[in-house]
Amino acid sequence: MKIVDNKALLLTLRNPAKVTSVIPKSRELPNNQVLVNWGLEETQVLRNMKINAPSPIESNYKWTGKYTPFDHQKVTASFLTLNRKSFCFNEQGTGKTASAIWASDYLLKQGAINRVLVVCPLSIMDSAWRNDLFSFAMHRKVDVAYGSKAKRTKIIGGDAEYVIINYDGVEIVEDAVANGGFDLIIVDEATHYKNPQTKRWKTLAKLVGPSTWLWMMTGTPAAQSPTDAYGIAKLVNPNGVPRFFGSFRDQVMCKVTNFKWVPKEDATNTVHRVLQPAIRFTKEECLDLPPMVYVKREVPLTRQQLKYYKELKDKMVMQAAGEQITAANAAVSMNKLLQISAGAVYTDNGDSLEFDISPRYKVLREVIDESSKKVLVFVPFKHTIDMLTSKLRADGIATEVIRGDVSAPRRTDIFKRFQEQDDPKVLVIQPQSAAHGVTLTAANTVVWWAPTSSLETYAQANARVHRSGQDHKCTVVQLQGSHAEKRVYSLLDNRINIHTKMIDLYKEILD
């Protein structure tokens, strides 16, 4: 097989006439060769004939955007363009969002599709999808369908080529989506559709017709149980699974007692078979990836948090007008804004005021579920550590805590078990307590529940997972909801010592 002028394939076959009879404008040549137009339709015909023709995106597409794609991203994009309904199981941090953007942009240019609907968690609509679309397909018009039903409907009825919406938002404007002309639906973190009995699943199923392109993406397709594969398989490969969930459960699970089921020995093979067609790259396979991948997740503040955040900010404005602001008192005020954002603030008399951390906790759980290894969660504030740890343990997630009041022998025991045993899965850490001299390579995901104000602490804490003995590439996830958090993360990302910029940062927050 040879590529000719990026628009044709030269094939050597035993029976060239078999190809020329089904592909228009193809020509037989001497020596059992045939020249075939190289387009999406022709490639699909060849592949149906068991001729492993590559996707034309590999040669006649200008890879748009600010960054050059890695080899595994090109392979992933090629796979997606050739599979109308398929799975992308590339691990978190391998850049599967960019692959899907390039593949869909190519389909738009070829006229194979007209419009794309991206369904994803609320927390990454802007920070991941809108930003990545700007980075990799800045020539496309993008909009986010979020807000009231009327606002979502108006956006869906607009002229954006890509519309981004959260899972539950699809249910709110189901009719508008159905009439929105979307012929490609990309579902990010597809495990949210593992249960066919939910309204969420049923809504999506009604939107996916025989000719609809559907790409479902997740790095952990059956993280909790083999039965998790049933719902997503039924959307992409309905003929590959039984009609009813109970029958599939019997294929992959053994009933031990009335309340306990365990996976069968061949459950992994069964899951692999039903979750097709699929592509998967693990982080260790992507040798050309950067050693550390940084991801931002948006987490909206609750009304209560917004109220106290504004009250404190107004108080800071009044103080700034009446007295000289020093770095010390600027740091105290900034710290209180970060405490409110994180979930608990200490009052002037030493009491603590707690806020609802459910929105932020939901995003953290998404990250934990996506991670292929263990997870470190850095939390700067003690009272928030207590709140978070209680929720994780209540949800059955084996969690240990490292902070200033944990004794040295206890820390040693926790670190040893974290590195060598299955549990704990999550370490909640006060950054200063594990920023130096500790190896925690059993984890490959670091989550910052809230930012630290120390650049050194930030860098050293991230380095706990990225050191000798780490066999996976690593992901650092920043949870952010307030302007103060975003500005602190920005300084950290640009390696600027926050303490040297504290007064400037203080004034910027007030403005």
Residue-wise pLDDT tens digits, 118-132: 999 887 888 779 888
363-420 pLDDT, tens digit each? 999 999 989 899 999 999 999 999 999 999 999 999 999 998 888 788 888 988 999 9
485-504 pLDDT, tens digit each? 999 999 999 888 887 788 88
**Six-digit token pair at 224?**
């909790």
Q: Please state, in angstroms and as integers, the Cα–Cα distance from residue 421 to each residue in 256, 428, 441, following that order.
A: 26, 17, 12
- pLDDT at residue 30 greater than cutoff 80: yes
- In the numeric block, the tokens 């083999």 are attached to 226
pTM given for the model: 0.74
pLDDT confidence band for 41 (50 / 70 / 90): confident
Total length of the chain? 511
Q: Are 256 and 262 in contact (CB under 8 A)?
A: yes
**Six-digit token pair at 333?**
């005020």
If residue 187 lies in a helix (H) or strand (E), which one and from where to where? strand 184-188
Q: Are 187 and 216 in contact (CB under 8 A)?
A: yes
Can you tell me the distance from the alpha carbon of 251 to that of 254, in angstroms, rounded to the nearest whole number?
8
- Eight-class DSSP state of 52: -
Q: Are 71 and 140 in contact (CB under 8 A)?
A: no
- pLDDT at residue 116 greater than cutoff 90: yes
163 contact partners, CB below 8 Å, separation of at least 6: 115, 116, 117, 118, 142, 143, 144, 145, 155, 156, 180, 182
pLDDT confidence band for 34 (50 / 70 / 90): confident
Q: Are 386 and 357 in contact (CB under 8 A)?
A: no
370 contact partners, CB below 8 Å, separation of at least 6: 92, 189, 218, 219, 220, 445
Give residue 15's identity as a one-letter amino acid code: N
Other C-beta atoms lying within 10 Å of the C-beta of residue 222: 23
**Six-digit token pair at 176?**
């508008």
Burial category of 322 from C-beta neighbours within 10 Å (exposed 0-12, middle 13-18, buried 19 and up): exposed
Average per-residue pLDDT in the chain?
A: 90
Higher pLDDT, 324 or 311: 311
Can you tell me the distance from the alpha carbon of 450 to that of 508, in angstroms, rounded to the nearest whole number?
19
Q: Please state, in angstroms and as integers, the Cα–Cα distance from residue 367 to each residue in 34, 91, 138, 449, following that order.
A: 50, 12, 27, 11
Instruction: Please report how the helices 483-493 and 327-342 are oriented relative to each other, as an axis angle in degrees rounded to 10.
Output: 110
If residue 104 lies in a helix (H) or strand (E), which one and from where to where? helix 96-110
405-443 pLDDT, tens digit each? 888 788 888 988 999 999 999 999 999 887 566 779 899
Q: Are 293 and 128 in contact (CB under 8 A)?
A: no
Percentage of residues of the chain with pLDDT beyond 90: 59
Lay out the sheet containing 85-88: strands in order across.
Answer: 142-144, 162-166, 116-120, 184-188, 213-217, 85-88, 278-279
Rg (CA), the chain: 26
- Eight-class DSSP state of 53: P
- pLDDT at residue 468 greater than cutoff 80: no
Can you tell me the distance from the alpha carbon of 122 to that of 390, in angstroms, rounded to the nearest whole number?
24
201-236 pLDDT, tens digit each? 999 999 999 999 999 999 888 877 899 999 999 999
